[in-house]
Structure 1
Amino acid sequence: MESSSAVAAEQQLSNDVEAAADTSGYRLSTPQDPNGIGKYYQGRQIAHVMGHEGAEWLERGDRQEEERTDVLLRELKIKPTDVVADIGAGTGYFSFRISPLVPQGKVLAVDIQPEMIKYLSDHKAANNAQNVQPILSTVQNPNLPASSVDLVLIVDAYHEFDHPREMMRAIRNSLRPTGRVALVEYRGEDPNVPIKRIHKMTEAQARKEMEALGMVFVENIKSLPQQHLLIFRKS
């Protein structure tokens, strides 16, 4: 039987490991919110990923009215020749709407779930979207070609990345010199936005995390009823 001092020392070591943040800004600890994974980045607890079982919510009929997704697409000022990467593409809600906006370009529809990649592939023809290219991501790499993307769009997905530092570093490397990142997240500053707190982000937190990787804040386009539309570019 272990001595009480040995058990105490082992427990203290475990606590130290849990509480310690490495130089990348990560920290493991007991979840403060049961909807989180117990991993923190730059002080923010990372949320559980919404699985493919939630596909119907992504395609809900009132989404355009509720989120003004039409306004979001207009504000992105996408050019016909752009290569757009839709990160966390899911069912392709945005990918298939961006497709006709880039007739001389393409949409890289990135998702971590094979079920979503199959959904995207199966629905390309019905959406007349042959310029949509589904890409299976890993948790650390979206598998985008280097220096080739004009716009990276991340809608309500970044807060669920369990390796945000590695993912954003890879995303930054995929951008052309004039490339942009459009980060869309429910406003964490607004208690009236009817979303669980862990699934929202403040502008300050988003900027802190992006700027830690050398991204430069351009603007917060305040046209959406519930979400931030934050634009970043390479430094």
Structure 2
Amino acid sequence: MRHLSLATLLVVLVFGSRAWAQEAAAPESVKPGINDSFLDPDLDVEAYVKRFEVESREVFAARSEIVERMKLSPGDRVADIGTGTGLFVEPFSEAVGEKGWVYALDIAPRFVERVEKLAEIRSLNNVTPVLCGQDDIRLAPGSINAAFICDVYHHFEYPQESLASIHKALEPGGKLVVIDFNRVPGESREWTLNHVRAGKEVFRAEIEKAGFRFVNEVEVPSFKENYFLQFERK
């Protein structure tokens, strides 16, 4: 019985230590629950279309300016990270041309399904919808030369891990564009202060720490609440 007890104890210690190691290695969310609604299998996609694709939303109204300032070239391979309803998929498809490619990524299966149908209906043959993870964009190393994150970075629950996967997917010298909301206490509206976890300086520092070089802040004349930052993969 003594030997059986020792063996049992050994099993408990081994598996217990493995479970502890896995738990210790698991990344910690910086904003738990912020993406719960997108992961709902009954997500009402049309409700988000009405919410996202309206002139009152800055990035929708400025979508042509944004794509122009991205300076994409024919043959580019761009990842639209957090594509949502697919607002930028068609403009990106046109910008990169037949020899380029657009990866439309989202964590919401219903959004990915919508983009797949959108690409089929509009004959966007250079678009691949991708169901990505909450901490990994799930693209092959060096598979893209541009990454686009629009009104989505503040939804990154695991920014360090997500940025590492973006860094890996970008080829050296590839561009990363981040558009998000200015969060300034005393100036920004209450929704922004409650919803967006940090301001531009914090987000920029996180991105630079992940191996990106800050290039510049691009001016978009129509922006009042948003900013446009451009980085380069080291």
So what's the TM-score if we normalise by structure 2? 0.75
* Equivalent residue number for residue 147 of structure 2: 152
**Residues 184, 228 of structure 1: 8 Å contact kept:** yes
Q: How big is the alpha-carbon RMSD for the aligned residues of Structure 1 and Structure 2?
A: 2.5
Distance in 2 between the 1:63 and 1:186 partners?
12
Give 5+ residue unaligned stretches, structure 1: 1-21, 28-38
Distance change >3 Å, CA 187–CA 64, structure 1 → 2: closer
**Residues 47, 199 of structure 1: 8 Å contact kept:** no
* Equivalent residue number for residue 48 of structure 1: 34
**Residues 221, 229 of structure 1: 8 Å contact kept:** yes
Distance in 2 between the 1:136 and 1:176 partners?
21
Residue 165 (structure 2) pairs with residue 170 (structure 1): yes
Amino acid of the structure 2 residue aligned with 1:196? T
Distance in 2 between the 1:176 and 1:156 partners?
23
Residue 219 (structure 2) pairs with residue 222 (structure 1): yes
Count of equivalent residues: 198
Distance in 2 between the 1:166 and 1:221 partners?
26
**Residues 46, 161 of structure 1: 8 Å contact kept:** no
Distance in 1 between the 2:146 and 2:204 partners?
18
Distance in 1 between the 2:192 and 2:233 partners?
31
Distance change >3 Å, CA 156–CA 85, structure 1 → 2: same
* Equivalent residue number for residue 18 of structure 2: none
**SS where residue 97 of structure 1 aligns?**
helix
Deviates more, 1:59-68 or 1:225-234: 59-68
Residue 88 (structure 2) pairs with residue 94 (structure 1): yes
**SS where residue 100 of structure 1 aligns?**
helix
Query: Identity over the aligned pairs, expressed in percent?
Result: 24
The Cα shift of 1:46 comes to 6.2
Distance in 1 between the 2:74 and 2:25 partners?
41
**Residues 63, 69 of structure 1: 8 Å contact kept:** no
Distance change >3 Å, CA 168–CA 118, structure 1 → 2: same
Describe the superposition over 1:51-110 as per-residue Cα deviations: whole angstroms up to 9, x where unpaired. Answer: 243522122254468651221111110111100100011111011221111112010000
| Structure showing the higher helix proportion among its residues | 2
* Equivalent residue number for residue 109 of structure 2: 114
* Equivalent residue number for residue 85 of structure 1: 79
Amino acid of the structure 2 residue aligned with 1:124? A
Distance in 1 between the 2:84 and 2:60 partners?
19
**SS where residue 228 of structure 2 aligns?**
strand
**SS where residue 196 of structure 1 aligns?**
helix
Residue 52 (structure 2) pairs with residue 58 (structure 1): yes
**Residues 64, 70 of structure 1: 8 Å contact kept:** no
Task: Point out the structure with max Rg over C-alpha.
Answer: 2
So what's the TM-score if we normalise by structure 1? 0.75
Residue 195 (structure 2) pairs with residue 196 (structure 1): no
Give 5+ residue unaligned stretches, structure 2: 1-23
